[in-house]
Structure 1
Amino acid sequence: MWDVDYTLLRGGGVAARAWQAAFTEVTGVDWRATPAFGGRTDMDICAEVFEVHGVTDCTPERFFVRYIELVLAAQHEFGEQGALMPGVRDVLTRLGTLPGVVQTLVTGNVPEVAAAKVAAFDLAGAFDAEVGGYGTDDSLRATLVRRSLERAEAKYGERFAPVVIGDTVHDVTAALANGAMAVGVATGSTRMADLVLAGAHAVLPDLSDVEATVRILTHPTAPPATQKRTKDS
């Protein structure tokens, strides 16, 4: 279960600019305060932005329609202004050759924005997006992990031992809340030490050591209740 922003890639601020523009267009309110986006769900961020700006006559669903339109219109800018994180393409490719491994996205982004970001770097084929967890599922990130696991097990008819890879403490705590293996990668603003303190089972500076990364992700360390493994999600 891959986080997107600052785990797989950085988007160059394209989505943040679309977010601000969409907010002003939809609500008619000038943008005054930027929340912390890292590791949070779009539903959670939307609630904070509405509250801070005193917006009471708009719904997240209405806002997301325009936000998605603006992101898709600027999708080409992800590749121009952003970048893949070190080792990502090679790790995804290697994992994709292994039997019993299903890769998907568990991200605070709404599904359409997550898809636009990974497609901009030709990564879409690496993931089964149908079984992902997204920012429209719930405001709590832990629920995204649970929803993804439920979708994967329903689709494949198998039990999975989930592995969550992310760059923030939110990714780690969401994994732990679901009995998943938490792998922290310090390619965002969170320090390795803080990912360790949050309880990550493994912490990497980045994914550039492909062999070590694949070895860690395919040999999960999980609590006793989830030790049995048939596939990795």
Structure 2
Amino acid sequence: MRRLVMWDIDHTLMDAGRAGPLACAAAFTAVTGLPHRETALMAGRTDRDIAMQTFTLHGIADCEPHLDGFFDVVVAEFLARRHLLREQGRLLPGVPDVLTALGGRPHVVQTLVTGNLRPIAEAKLAEFGLTGLVDVEIGGYGTEDVVRATLVRGSLERATARHGEFSSADVFVVGDTVHDVTAALANGVTAIAVATGGTTAADLAAAGAHVVLDDLGDVDAVVRLLAGAPD
């Protein structure tokens, strides 16, 4: 038995504070020369989706020529505000213990499927001491598509190429939004939802999550769920 766990980051593993929204706002003005008025709804969406919607909100219908430069500036602006992660953010209950325990199980592969840009995702993990517990090389990140299910599919393909085939029943997408749930279901894998963001447990269940947790605080139960019973 081999298991693959795909972690969302924001409001699943941590509350990262305001560094991300502030970086997006500053990058938008730097790239377009326009004052930033609003950012599109972020929760559960990929950074490509958020960027495209934000440009549209400001009257820029064709944002593709801007996106690569925009993403580069977002990363720079985020890293300049990295101190806000510690000042404003926090790990959510149980997170370091769950990831560490799973990291000690040879049959469990952990990675990220997140709407974040990869350098930002790695910075968030590093700031809270989680680097090395997940395989970032096989993850899915926010520049890949506007549809989150595509990120799950790409990550699964990379994980399979590196580790061999996974049974769909042994692949878990863990996230806090309906978008995480629907992305898992679209790929025929297990959706584990945590009600640690802005979506209620009832709404996550209604979206089709196979399991809904209040949080990851019951470390032993979460590890059993994701790793299976010990040999």
Say if 2:130 is the partner of 1:123.
yes
Say if 2:46 is the partner of 1:41.
yes
Once residues 38 and 88 of structure 2 are traced to their aligned partners in structure 1, the CA distance between those partners, rounded to angstroms, is 23
Deviation at 1:82, TM superposition (A): 0.4
1:99-134 Cα shifts (integer Å, max 9, x gaps): 210100000011011111111101011110000000
Report what 1:227 is aligned to. Answer: none
Report what 1:162 is aligned to. Answer: 171
Deviation at 1:156, TM superposition (A): 1.8
Say if 2:69 is the partner of 1:53.
no
Once residues 75 and 158 of structure 1 are traced to their aligned partners in structure 2, the CA distance between those partners, rounded to angstroms, is 37
- Where 2:140 maps in the other structure, the secondary structure is coil
Once residues 159 and 211 of structure 1 are traced to their aligned partners in structure 2, the CA distance between those partners, rounded to angstroms, is 23
Report what 1:82 is aligned to. Answer: 89
Deviation at 1:50, TM superposition (A): 0.9
Report what 1:14 is aligned to. Answer: 19
Which moves more between the two structures, 156-165 or 168-177?
156-165
Deviation at 1:215, TM superposition (A): 1.4
Once residues 125 and 76 of structure 1 are traced to their aligned partners in structure 2, the CA distance between those partners, rounded to angstroms, is 21
The letter for the 2-side match of 1:9 is M
Say if 2:180 is the partner of 1:180.
no
1:13-47 Cα shifts (integer Å, max 9, x gaps): 11110110111111111111232100000111111
Name which of 195, 206, 230 aligns with 1:197. 206
Once residues 119 and 137 of structure 1 are traced to their aligned partners in structure 2, the CA distance between those partners, rounded to angstroms, is 22
Tell me how many residue pairs correspond in the alignment: 220
Is contact 2:194-2:215 (8 Å) kept?
yes
Once residues 44 and 3 of structure 1 are traced to their aligned partners in structure 2, the CA distance between those partners, rounded to angstroms, is 16
Deviation at 1:77, TM superposition (A): 2.0
Say if 2:219 is the partner of 1:210.
yes
- TM-score, normalised to structure 2's length? 0.92
Once residues 210 and 135 of structure 2 are traced to their aligned partners in structure 1, the CA distance between those partners, rounded to angstroms, is 24
The letter for the 2-side match of 1:94 is A
Question: Which ranges in structure 2 are unaligned for 5 or more consecutive residues?
Answer: 1-5
The letter for the 1-side match of 2:222 is T
Q: 1:212-227 to 2 correspondence within 5 Å?
A: 212-219=221-228
Question: Which ranges in structure 1 are unaligned for 5 or more consecutive residues?
Answer: 221-233
Deviation at 1:76, TM superposition (A): 2.5
- TM-score, normalised to structure 1's length? 0.91
Is contact 2:39-2:50 (8 Å) kept?
no
Is contact 2:141-2:151 (8 Å) kept?
yes
Change in CA separation of 1:76 and 1:33 when aligned onto 2, cut-off 3 Å: closer
For CA contacts below 8 A with separation 6 or more, give which structure has more relative contact order. 2
Say if 2:98 is the partner of 1:91.
yes
1:189-223 Cα shifts (integer Å, max 9, x gaps): 10000000000010000011001111122249xxx
Report what 2:3 is aligned to. Answer: none
Name which of 55, 64, 78 aligns with 2:71. 64
- Where 1:124 maps in the other structure, the secondary structure is coil
Report what 2:157 is aligned to. Answer: 150
- Where 1:137 maps in the other structure, the secondary structure is coil
Which moves more between the two structures, 155-164 or 32-41?
155-164
Q: RMSD of aligned C-alpha atoms?
A: 1.4
Which moves more between the two structures, 160-169 or 129-138?
160-169
Once residues 69 and 198 of structure 2 are traced to their aligned partners in structure 1, the CA distance between those partners, rounded to angstroms, is 31
